[in-house]
Structure 1
């Protein structure tokens, strides 16, 4: 038999912790799905309704209370714009590994886009050891990167717009009847940005 080294033991402990976290998430989603089905059918189930007597349900809900994205869209005292008007779009999420002579460190990255469909847009990039913390960092950056687009309400795209990034090029043409045929990601970005009188073409080598 192979001797278990401390590094292997540490990897096993990390793997067991990840399995436990995913199992709890699966139990939580199954419980909420069953609860939504009961509510939709008009039935009442005292085992599923959060109440003072159902301590197990309350503890389960509180365990995942801070893992949802809705908490970032609650209005605060120093807010200038209404957070409920913004729509969130996750553009990319991946994992990177930094291999050193002592250890292997995994980081999660996430890229998000925000828009209120009326000329206010923002984006944010976050990086952390876990996806939850990476998402929180991305939301903090999104609050700092808020951009207000100068648009005409009658004609949101009065002239042709052109832009590029490396080998990617995009052109937005004015058009009274919108035509978003093309890249689905750019289609959603244009909608969230407030461009409704346009069509676009994109070229990526």
Structure 2
């Protein structure tokens, strides 16, 4: 095969009278083939606009999962890229987003657009960030967050970083799941953390004084 290729190149050089090998024709893409790509940095969509007050530089982005999905039709197969991210500023402002696109750049672009819509604020007291048990479940994923004087993040590296960037330090957690599912993890985490309350609010709910609120050792 290599000898046949060299013979074809030799014949082409003599028929076209090519003296320099750099003049050999190069492969060019089909001009009718549409390359659908996005332009610009996706992070430009995560900036405050009119009526919004937050500092994008204070947030930390956690890249949780990426995968590829395929839509099969009678005529073709359409592949898409999908990503899942979590974001937090360590002071009670958190959010998550799912991005989907024909490539990772467009998926990130859609993800950053969704991040601004999914931002929530958790009312935390830095002296006592957790005043009671927080419990949540999504599908087969179960999560319990208990109050604790000193943090104990053993059990899951992802939940550890998510709690740190949420700003919740007086806690420990228990997680139970038969399989790894980061989407259920995020849904259960957001449901559990959104139940957190300040000591003053928790004291009114339980009918106790603020000094009587404490955490388990």
Structure 2 match to 1:66? 40
| Structure 2 counterpart of 1:81 | 54
Residue correspondences, number? 146
SS across alignment from 1:182: coil
Q: Which runs of 5+ in 1 are unaligned?
A: 1-11, 22-64
Structure 2-normalised TM-score?
0.61
Correspondence for 2:141: 168
Secondary structure, in 3 states, of the residue corresponding to 2:152? coil
- Cα contact 2:98–2:111 (8 A) shared by 1: yes
Alignment correspondent of 1:203: 176
| Contiguous gaps of at least 5 residues in structure 2 | 1-28, 179-217
Which of structures 1 and 2 has the bigger CA Rg?
2
**What is aligned with 1:109?**
82
The structure where helix makes up a greater share of residues is 1
SS of equivalent to 1:109? strand
C-alpha contact (below 8 Å) 1:108/1:129 kept by paired residues: yes
Tell me how far apart the structure 2 counterparts of residues 94 and 110 of structure 1 sit (CA, whole Å): 7
Distance in structure 1 (CA, Å) of the matches to 2:62 and 2:113: 15
Deviation at 1:100, TM superposition (A): 1.5
Aligned mates of 1:148, 1:129 — CA distance in 2: 32
CA distance in 1, matches of 2:102, 2:158: 27
Q: Which residue of 2 aligns with 1:97?
A: 70
2:154 corresponds to 1:181: yes
The CA RMSD over aligned residues, in Å, is: 2.5
Greater RCO (Cα-Cα under 8 Å, separation 6 or more): 2
1:191 and 2:191 equivalent? no
